[in-house]
Amino acid sequence: MTGPTPPTVTVDDRYEFFDDRDRLDYDAIVEFLTHHVYWGTWRSPTDIRAAIAGSWRVVGAVDTTTGELVAFARAISDGVTVAYLADVFVVPSARGHALGKKLVDQMIERGPGAHFRWLLHTADAHGLYKQFGFVEPDETVLERRRIRPIPPRP
Ligand SMILES: CC(C)(COP(=O)(O)OP(=O)(O)OC[C@H]1O[C@@H](n2cnc3c(N)ncnc32)[C@H](O)[C@@H]1OP(=O)(O)O)[C@@H](O)C(=O)NCCC(=O)NCCS
């Protein structure tokens, strides 16, 4: 005889999204951003914590079955007109369950910045961001790229 059928676990039941920065697992974010992405590896753990502290909003997600942080994004903003999306990731073991879409949706559509203009830089996952209205910039967008080396840390 078999036991009771386990309840169906949907993505939304298993993964909980939040925007409370006190719930973030900073060690997990630092570990991911310093080892698993192409864009953040130069930043120290102190830099990453400072960048999060200086961000306007964060969104994280945990796997409620393990308590593990599985997704993160942060945004920089004046809180009124424009926001910049940064450090978006889903850990490899949780990819392919639409968590990336949910993460961006929570940050952009389900927060106080839904009416803002949004910007981001990324070499990857353009297909994800296009679903949220991101397009190639037009001729009104100017960017000052980093023209000075990053100063050495004290
Ligand atoms: C990009 C990332 C956040 C997507 O997470 P995910 O949970 O696997 O994504 P989802 O399951 O929600 O898929 C979202 C959609 O974007 C698409 N997508 C996902 N990764 C993509 C990529 N690298 N390039 C293009 N499209 C991508 C998916 O095909 C899917 O499209 P669909 O709706 O037509 O099926 C995740 O792969 C990741 O953390 N990658 C490493 C870090 C990174 O590249 N971050 C983005 C740059 S800031």
Domain ranges of the chain: 11-130
- The CATH homologous superfamily to which domain 11-130 belongs is Gcn5-related N-acetyltransferase (GNAT) (3.40.630.30)
Find, among 69, 8, 57, 62, the residue nearest to 33 by Cα: 69
d(CA 96, CA 107): 19
Query: Distance (Å, rounded) from C-alpha 33 to C-alpha 63?
Result: 19
Spatial neighbors of 7 by CB under 8 A, at least 6 apart, are none
pLDDT at 3: 39
Pocket of ligand 1, beta carbon within 6 A? 37, 88-90, 95-101, 122, 124-125, 127-128
24-46 confidence digits (pLDDT tens):
999 999 999 999 998 878 899 99
Nearest atom in ligand 1 to 88's CA: 48
Tell me what the pLDDT averaged over the chain comes to. 91
Which ligand 1 atom is at minimum distance from the Cα of 126?
Answer: 25
pLDDT (0 to 100) of residue 150: 84
pLDDT in tens, 74-105: 999 999 999 999 999 999 999 999 999 999 99
Is pLDDT above 60 for 47? Answer: yes
pLDDT at 9: 47
Instruction: Quote the distance between the C-alpha of residue 33 and its chain's center.
Output: 11
Q: Tell me whether residue 53 is exposed, middle or buried, using C-beta atoms within 10 angstroms of its C-beta: 0 to 12, 13 to 18, 19 or more.
A: exposed
**Percent of the chain whose predicted confidence (pLDDT) is above 70:** 92
Question: 133: which 2 tokens?
Answer: 């209205």
Angle between helices 26-35 and 45-53 (to 10 degrees): 120
Look at residues 82, 73, 86, 92 and name the one whose alpha carbon lies nearest to residue 116. Answer: 82
Residue 7 has pLDDT above 50, yes or no: no
